[in-house]
Amino acid sequence: MDYQNTLKYLYESVPMFQQIGGNAYKPGLETTHRLDEHFGHPHQQFKTIHIAGTNGKGSCSHTIAAVLQSAGYRVGLFTSPHLVDFRERIRINGEMMPEEYVVNFVEEHRSFFEPLHPSFFELTTVMAFRYFADQKVDVAVIEVGMGGRLDCTNIIHPDLCVITNISFDHMQYLGNTLTKIATEKAGIIKEGVPVVIGRAKGSVKRVFTMKAKEMNAPINYADSISPNNPTDWLPYPEMQALRKHLDNTLHPADSIKALDKILDKRKDAIRIVNEMFPAGLFMELSGLCQHENILTILSALKELTKIGYRICPKDYLNGFADVCKLTGLMGRWQKVHSDPDIICDTGHNVDGIKYVCGQLDFLHQKFNQELHIVFGMVNDKDISSVLQELPKHATYYFTKASVKRALPENELLALAETNGLKGTTYSTVVEAVQAAKKNCPLKDLIFIGGSSFIVADLLANRDTLNLY
């Protein structure tokens, strides 16, 4: 088989959550342990960092990986879902796994795994572990697929566990309260392994505190460092002014280089100022959610330093400023076009959409940009709650992604209208974006999101849509 036929085989022969949803979900580790034994326990051949949570996993995973790369480590990165190419899930120092490796892996081992009937994610996980071992990575950042306790990645014994913000998502599998969801996420906490927790309050915080105590795991809450690590958002004019100021003072050249990298790519940045970075630590990733993610990342890197990882301030500056190039990250408040500005984001649950809408409202107020929103969702999300968060003053282009779980655009429109939203329907993301580009004045903003799969269809068709 060639690469495309191998992917077709994988997508059609093993249950794939990305395509069919709940029918692909296999809780429990029995199959994973059998796969792991067959492949020689590959995850034991390198260090690991385990990351769970509802929102912020991708940003935190990629940024930590970028900083470690900058520090000279050979870093594996396992994430999901992919947006354009399956191999986005499995990278080393930002480079996707070769097509040949995927083909050879399936051809050599299908006689073993076919009788086991693994899920797509189970098979993908062991493929990643085997690849990282074969390529002799120093450390791998491993992102949980869903939950934590019964997730197939939970066979690893990491150097550090990270649990990002908890919110409502996948309730049919993880529970219908934040406490139940947090309990599943807390399942990655291991005996004696330090754990960093993102935003957590009330019963959620109690779940993590009790689990960490049970496992004798040192626990650190990221928001505890907030008073000494103030963050702000820098629009382009303020970035330019700061760049000029830094050039006329005795600030480290590395700070200037980091800011220059972002100025070359974007019109905004997140900045954090602390004792280590009095001139500022600049984050390429933007959007309101990054104000919380950055605290989680800093807490995680501090813990890694405590246990012997060699990371210097220059590595922070380079990794934060160049995370997308270093790791291949896409779809996090990503600008894909100018005149008009077109931004996409993979936020797809209530909390994720709240962050998106907060950012859109800020831009609307600050720059007087009218909003054109291309929007679609999958059918197993809390659709009504998400729609309630969307701005009513925007012009909407309702569409569906090219996956079986996609909610038909006409059904989405009907639900949207009950929430006071107005718009038109389009059968594909391409058609919806084309219409938005035609209708949107150059000074205004087009946002594309609602689902990772909407963003995936957008990015897969950048040439067709003439996005640059």
DSSP symbols for 227-245: GGS-EEEEEHHHHHHHHHH
From residue 311, alpha-carbon distances to 66, 298, 302 in Å are 11, 12, 9
Q: Compute the distance between CA of residue 354 and CA of residue 357 in angstroms, rounded to an integer.
A: 5
C-beta separation of 372 from 440 below 8 A: yes
* Residue 36: predicted pLDDT: 97
Q: pLDDT tens digits, residue range 250-268?
A: 567 888 899 999 988 877 8
DSSP run (H or E) holding 390: none
Q: Compute the distance between CA of residue 129 and CA of residue 454 in angstroms, rounded to an integer.
A: 29
* Residue 365: predicted pLDDT: 86
Name the nearest CA neighbour of 92 among 139, 47, 127. Answer: 139
Sheet of 195-197: strand order equals: 95-96, 90-92, 75-78, 139-143, 47-52, 160-163, 195-197, 219-221
* Residue 134: predicted pLDDT: 98
* Residue 22: predicted pLDDT: 47
* Residue 168: predicted pLDDT: 61
Here the tokens at position 176 are 């219908």
Q: Compute the distance between CA of residue 97 and CA of residue 77 in angstroms, rounded to an integer.
A: 10
* Residue 167: predicted pLDDT: 72
C-beta separation of 78 from 89 below 8 A: yes
Name the nearest CA neighbour of 152 among 60, 30, 20. Answer: 30
Three-state secondary structure call for residue 384: helix
From residue 59, alpha-carbon distances to 65, 68, 283, 291, 319 in Å are 10, 14, 11, 11, 12
Q: Compute the distance between CA of residue 218 and CA of residue 98 in angstroms, rounded to an integer.
A: 38
Q: Compute the distance between CA of residue 30 and CA of residue 134 in angstroms, rounded to an integer.
A: 24
Quickly tell me which residue has 């972002």 as its tokens. Answer: 262
Beta strand 139-143 with 75-78 is parallel
C-beta separation of 455 from 344 below 8 A: yes
Name the nearest CA neighbour of 82 among 326, 284, 331, 344. Answer: 331
Here the tokens at position 220 are 């650190």
Domains and CATH numbers, the chain: 3-226 (3.40.1190.10), 228-288+314-327 (no CATH), 334-465 (3.90.190.20)
Residue ranges in the chain whose pLDDT is less than 70 = 15-27, 168-176, 250-251
Q: Which amino acid would we find at residue 297?
A: I
